[in-house]
């Protein structure tokens, strides 16, 4: 009986801990929004972060997008060939990319590349007192460090998603039309017929939300780091795991709400 109570206690403590952490994350988000509204507006820092989060992620996003598009074409070709609907492969690729895989895979890649870097960089600054130094020099660390990273992520993850959508569709076309010999005209015509602009818009909205999630989690984990180098490593890993899971949960909710 004592063991059962202990287990319940432990589970309860864990849940309370998670809820508290979510509350603190939400407060950080509120602070970030508040400080983003106060001048001076640091466009230089925003562009610097857009370059770090966005430009430097282009290659990995292109590779992810093109191979995902190609494999989608391959898989849907085998599925549709059974009932002679090979020309629908393009539709399957385009809808999967624009609605789901484009935003989700892009935000995963950005989480791994830039979200983890945010946690590591801000975490190192925390444990080496650089964040205290910023405050001591009358520079608000949330405004200086977190606002540009969050705004940059909200802006560039949708841009990267558009790139992933495009190269994914091109990859699917190359596989479907060039390798699998599907009729090019019917392939494109079906895509035009069944894919709507709203599919792309909704994917872009999702990407902006995912950008917000991955950056807030990365910055929060870094900002609250304790325990030296080991703490920085822990914060970095936790930020990637938490952001990835949160993105998947948010993806389900957004899909349910939008489609």
Partner 1 sequence: MIEIRGLHKSFGALKVLQGVDLQIPKGKTTVILGRSGVGKSVLLKHIIGLIRPDRGKIWIDGVDITLLGDTELNELRKKFGMLFQEAALFDSMNVGGNVAFPLREHTKLSEKDIREIVAQRLEQVGLPGLEEKMPAQLSGGMKRRVGLARALALDPEIVLFDEPTSGLDPPMAEAIEDLIMETQQKLGETFVVITHNITVAFHIAHKIAMLHEGRIVAEGSPRVFRRSSNPVVQAFMARREEKEVQE
Which of 128, 178, 183, 255 lies at the binding interface for partner 1 (CB under 8 A)? 128
**Contact between 43 and partner 1 (CB under 8 A)?**
no
Which of 82, 137, 256, 257 lies at the binding interface for partner 1 (CB under 8 A)? 137
**Contact between 30 and partner 1 (CB under 8 A)?**
no
Which of 8, 10, 19, 135 lies at the binding interface for partner 1 (CB under 8 A)? 135
Which of 2, 37, 43, 136 lies at the binding interface for partner 1 (CB under 8 A)? 136
**Contact between 27 and partner 1 (CB under 8 A)?**
no
Nearest distance from C-beta of residue 132 to partner 1, angstroms? 6
Pairwise CA distance, residues 251 & 239, whole Å: 18
Binders of partner 1 among residues 85 to 124 (CB under 8 A) are 121, 124
Please choose, out of 97-105, 132-140, 169-177, 219-227, the segment that lies near partner 1 by the rule CB under 8 A: 132-140
Which of 13, 51, 132, 230 lies at the binding interface for partner 1 (CB under 8 A)? 132
Which of 4, 82, 138, 256 lies at the binding interface for partner 1 (CB under 8 A)? 138
Nearest distance from C-beta of residue 183 to partner 1, angstroms? 54
Please spell the DSSP secondary structure of the chain, one letter per residue: -HHHHHHHHHHHHHHHHHHHHHHHHHHHHHHHHHHHHSSSP-HHHHHHHHHHHTGGGHHHHHHHHHHHHHHHHHHHHHHHHTTT-GGGHHHHHHHIIIIIIHHHHHHHHHIIIIIHHHHHHHHHHHHTTHHHHHHHTT--HIIIIIHHHHHHHHHHHHHHHHHHHHHHHHHHHIIIIIIS---HHHHHHHHHHH--HHHHHHHHHHHHHHHHHHHHHHHHHHHT--SHHHHHHHHHHHHHHHHHHHHHHHHHHHHHHH-
Between 117 and 207, name the residue whose CB sits nearer to partner 1: 117
**Contact between 255 and partner 1 (CB under 8 A)?**
no
Which of 51, 129, 192, 196 lies at the binding interface for partner 1 (CB under 8 A)? 129
CA angle in degrees (0–180, nearest 5) for 130-131-137: 90
Q: Which residues bind partner 1 (CB under 8 A)?
A: 121, 124-125, 128-130, 132-133, 135-140
């Amino acid at each position: 009986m004592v063991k059962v109570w202990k287990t319940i206690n432990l589970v309860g403590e864990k849940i309370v801990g998670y809820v508290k952490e979510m509350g603190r994350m939400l407060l950080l988000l509120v602070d970030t929004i508040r400080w983003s509204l106060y001048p001076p507006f640091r466009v230089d820092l925003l562009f610097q972060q857009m370059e770090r989060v966005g430009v430097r992620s282009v290659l990995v996003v292109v590779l992810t997008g093109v191979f995902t598009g190609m494999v989608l074409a391959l898989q849907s070709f085998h599925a549709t060939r059974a009932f002679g609907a090979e020309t629908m492969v393009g539709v399957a690729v385009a809808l999967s990319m624009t609605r789901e895989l484009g935003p989700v895979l892009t935000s995963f890649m950005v989480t791994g590349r830039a979200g983890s870097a945010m946690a590591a960089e801000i975490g190192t600054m925390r444990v080496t007192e650089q964040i205290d130094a910023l405050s001591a020099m009358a520079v608000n660390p949330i405004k200086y460090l977190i606002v540009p990273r969050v705004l940059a992520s909200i802006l560039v993850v949708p841009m990267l998603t558009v790139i992933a959508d495009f190269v994914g569709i091109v990859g699917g076309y190359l596989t479907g039309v060039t390798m699998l010999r599907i009729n090019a005209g019917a392939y494109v015509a079906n895509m035009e017929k069944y894919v709507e602009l709203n599919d792309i818009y909704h994917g872009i909205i999702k990407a902006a939300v995912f950008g917000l999630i991955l950056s807030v989690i990365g910055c929060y984990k870094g900002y609250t780091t304790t325990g030296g180098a080991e703490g920085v490593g822990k914060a970095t890993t936790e930020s990637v795991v938490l952001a990835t899971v949160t993105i998947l949960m948010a993806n389900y909710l957004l899909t349910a709400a939008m489609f």
